[in-house]
Amino acid sequence: MNPVRENDKMMQKNITHESEKDSVLSNGMNTFEIEIKSLLGEASKAEELKRQMCTLDPNCRLTGSNKQLNHYFDGGDMDELVKNVSLHLNDEQLKKLSHIVTAGNNFSVRTRQKDDQVLLVVKASVDEGSSANTVSRLEFEEPVNLTLEELDKILLESGFKYQAKWSREREEYEYKGMNVCLDKNAGYGYLAEFEKVLEGEDDSAIASARAEIESVMRELSVAELPQDRLERMFAHYNQNWPDYYGTDKVFVIE
């Protein structure tokens, strides 16, 4: 018997629909994301991490899986983006986006196709990292009734330019009260993201969430991917993304 396959079957029985998760992340005020990445690289290490999570948390479950196309943009006018996309957002979505644009800085703007769903993603950093790869950040991630190409066109008309296009396959797990994403990324290989999502900007809650993630990562014997290395990887991919987008090719940057 293959224990990983058996664990996957067990967690599939408890699968939560993506629409349910999205409704949680979308209600109320802007969400605040605390996320730490770990570079796994090889498929065998991703399988070992899943085995570990199932062993240490009997309630660990697979909550979703999807294929994604992520288009990153730079430049542009955030106020122009709000104006141009407003017709495709409801009142609550527009309020959330306007708040981030007014209160935030150092934005990372993306469009995303997650299976058949298209989303606008805007993130603003609140620590020493960039908004693309930071640990703590404000986040807007909302569905729009457009194709990926139509949403891209709105960003281009708002003065943005393509920075890079990314592709990945993602499995999402619930583990000890946090979200763990296992991604197979073009260029990067396998990457784990440990995430807590908070409502609001309470400093003590943010510090507590980060400490909780760090404790779980130690328990699972996975190391945080240093920000400086992640930035080098990100820069290399951005310069060479046509070689990797939609492929299984992987590079190694120390």
The model's pLDDT over 172-197, given as tens digits with 9 standing for 90+, comes to: 999 999 999 999 999 999 999 999 98
Confidence grade of residue 115 (pLDDT, cut at 50, 70, 90):
very high
Residue 98 lies in a domain: yes
Q: Is residue 122 part of a domain?
A: yes
**Radius of gyration in angstroms for the set of CA atoms belonging to the chain, rounded to a whole number:** 18
- CA–CA separation, 119 and 141 (whole Å): 6
What mean pLDDT do residues 214-229 have? 96
Residue 55: domain span: 3-243
| Residues 73, 162 contacting (CB under 8 angstroms) | yes
Q: Which two tokens stand for residue 138?
A: 């404000």
Output the pLDDT for position 22.
Answer: 33
pLDDT value at residue 7: 47
Q: Give the tens place of pLDDT for each residue, 148-178.
A: 999 999 999 999 999 999 999 999 999 999 9
194 is a domain residue: yes
Q: Is 250 part of a structural domain of the chain?
A: no
Mean pLDDT value across the chain = 86
- Is 200 or 20 the better-scoring residue by pLDDT? 200
- Of 207 and 66, which is predicted with more confidence? 66
In tens, the pLDDT along 89-105 reads 999 999 999 989 988 88
d(CA 52, CA 124): 33
Distance CA 53, CA 61 (A): 9
30: confidence class by pLDDT, cuts 50, 70, 90: low
pLDDT at 126 over 80: no
Q: Of all residues in the chain, what percent carry a pLDDT higher than 70?
A: 83
User: What is the count of structural domains for the chain?
Assistant: 1
**This prediction's pTM:** 0.74
Mean pLDDT of 202-211: 87
Confidence of residue 131 (pLDDT cuts 50, 70, 90): very low
- pLDDT at position 103 is 81
Q: Say which DSSP state 7 is in.
A: H
What does the pLDDT read at residue 44? 96
CATH number at residue 34: 2.40.320.10
Contact assessment for residue 216 and residue 222, using Cβ atoms and an 8 Å cutoff: no
Give domain status of residue 252, yes or no. Answer: no
Intra-chain end-to-end CA distance of the chain, in Å: 38
* Cβ proximity of 25 and 197 under 8 Å: yes
Pick 34 or 240 by higher pLDDT: 240
Distance between CA atoms of 141 and 195, rounded to whole angstroms? 15
Residue 238 lies in a domain: yes
In sequence order, which ranges of 27-120 are alpha helices (DSSP H)? 43-56, 78-85, 91-103
Query: Is there a domain that residue 239 lies in?
Result: yes
Tell me whether residue 201 is in a domain: yes
What is the model's pLDDT at position 201? 64
pLDDT tens-digit map of 229-238? 999 999 999 9
- Say how far apart CA 197 and CA 178 lie, in whole Å: 8
Name the β-bridge partners of 253: none
Give the pLDDT score at 138. Answer: 82
Assign 131 to helix, strand or coil: coil
